[in-house]
Chains A and B, each alone.
Chain A
Amino acid sequence: MATGCAGGVIGVAAMESTLPKPQETALQRTVLFDLHERLGAKIVPFAGYEMPVQYPAGIMQEHLHTRAAAGLFDVSHMGQAWLDPLDEAEDAASLFEALVPGGIATLAEGRIRYTQLTNPQGGILDDLMATRFGNRLWLVVNAACKESDFAHIETALAGRARLRVQARALLALQGPQAVNVLARFLPYCRALTFMQAAWMVFEGEEVLVSRCGYTGEDGFEISVPEAQAVAFAERLLGEDEVAPIGLGARDSLRLEAGLCLYGHDIDTDTTPVEADLMWSVPKRRRDAGDFPGAEKITRQLADGVARQRVGILPDGRAPAREGTQIQDRQGSLIGSVTSGGFAPYLGQPVAMGYVAASHAAPGTEIHLIVRGKALPAKIAEMPFVPQRYWKG
């Protein structure tokens, strides 16, 4: 038996990966690494880090537990940084709009925005979260892109803003019970609504609590000083509702929630229009066209796109993994799957991918070419599971 197509970079440890690999010595570890090992995690290389892909409960149980109660994720590999204006009279959020199509300048205090760093061709360099605190901006970017993102931002804003990368741990507590658990330690977290953040104090240390996540559930991401991270994680894990969750379930949860994984569903070859992310680009930015790639993006909005990111529900039980070809029912190639696997909460396979715009309407019948066989499937609305964000 051998693992063929692992569904992305966080494929479960295949037979081969149980063998020691020399390059693993160069991998970094988060401050929670020893805790993951104590919890019995299976560790895999991911984005330059040794990360837990699953704990003994397994991806299925971890996934279902997060939707039913609360899951704790170590996402300390992600990049966290302050963006400060060099001139105190300036506003980092306004300056940052030169790099992204999102509405950042208009962010209210403590409000979080999802946006993308775009290149002059309209391609996506990374997607990220930005939060306003005064005239500063708090950024959280993907682990695999953080060095290049930070270099790009520093270069583009040289002389006007500076980036201060923060060596802090980042924990995500996600699920319907997340708020009840976190409120035992940080009572004020209840006051936050979805996409809102505030600095709070936990045992004398400042922690940044953001009500957002990557699962489709209500929940929080909590940025804590590295020295405090293990104790904080252990306190949360000590609560009955909380189980540790690995990257495997993080991936299946975000897929069910219809959320993009950078490097798979979006990259420098996809624009926010093709990726169906224009909800994150307000009218003010579209009209002004003052962001990298605006020309292409504006043209695509006016003329339409050749291909579009869509959700896909296979009729049968066979998962269609990343790279699976998509054909129309007449056998013509119309696209490919960018993320696909089994959706534990739905109990069936799901996928997302890009198809010709002519075939992007929900309900359109397609074929997925899995191991040479054309399996029937349909274009579907996303998210596959209802979002349960707390909007107050």
Chain B
Amino acid sequence: MSRKYTKDHEWVSLDGDIATVGITAYAQEQLGDVVFVEVPESGRQVAQGDDAAVVESVKAASEVYAPVSGEVVEGNEALTDNPALVNEAPDSEGWFFRMKLTNSDELDGLMDEAAYADYVKELG
């Protein structure tokens, strides 16, 4: 499926019933150099909008929210040793966690790529 996006600058990509979650290129650029990432442990239940991960730049700490509800099945351990992956490849290797969806209808409330692009453009 194509990617969906939240107003909080997470992306979610669905493969079967497993969703991969990351932050957008726009988000990593706003953050600047990422120096620390904390990903959720597998087995954790999260509801849409819950704090799920933490990303820190030199200056600030930010929360990454769960874009949809479900159970975390994997955190991206590569980010622990190399948080800069979030800057280098936010759309691919810099993913944060994978989760098993409990309600795929939640995806319908998110933006598609074109809508997100318009949203970011409005932010200036």
Contacts and interface: CB of A to CB of B under 8 A. Distances in A.
A13 B31 CA distance: 8
Mostly, the A contact residues are mixed
B113 interface: no
Contacts of A342: 35-36, 56-58
Contacts of A59: 32-33, 57-59
Contacts of B8: 1-2, 15
B15 to A, nearest CB: 22
Contacts of B27: 1, 15
A60 B30 contact: no
B91 interface: no
Given A3-B61, A4-B61, 8 more contacts: A1-B10, A5-B61, A7-B59, A12-B31, A15-B9, A60-B33, A344-B58, A371-B38
**Residue from the set B33, B35, B56, B58 with the largest chain A CB neighbour count within 10 Å:** B58
B7 to A, nearest CB: 9
28 contacts: A1-B9, A1-B23, A1-B63, A1-B64, A4-B63, A6-B60, A7-B60, A7-B61, A12-B32, A12-B58, A13-B30, A14-B30, A15-B8, A15-B27, A18-B124, A53-B59, A59-B32, A59-B33, A60-B58, A61-B33, A248-B59, A317-B35, A317-B80, A318-B38, A319-B36, A319-B61, A349-B35, A371-B54
Contacts of A14: 30, 60, 62
Contact of B30 (A15, A19, A319): A15
Interface of B: 8-10, 23, 27, 30-33, 35-36, 38, 54-65, 80, 123-124
A249 B33 CA distance: 12
Given A12-B31, A15-B8, A321 B61 contact: yes
B31 to A, nearest CB: 7
B32 A319 contact: no
Contacts of A53: 59
Chain A, interface residues (CB within 8 Å), range: 35 or more
Contacts of B33: 58-61, 344
A341 B56 CA distance: 9
Contact of B58 (A4, A248, A318): A248
A349 B58 CA distance: 9
Contact of A11 (B54, B59, B64, B80): B59
B71 to A, nearest CB: 21
B5 to A, nearest CB: 11
A252 interface: yes
A321 B9 CA distance: 23
A88 B35 CA distance: 56
Contact of B59 (A1, A2, A10, A61): A10
B13 to A, nearest CB: 16
A94 to B, nearest CB: 42
Contacts of B9: 1, 15
Nearest to A347: B35
B58 A63 contact: yes
A251 interface: yes
Nearest to B33: A60
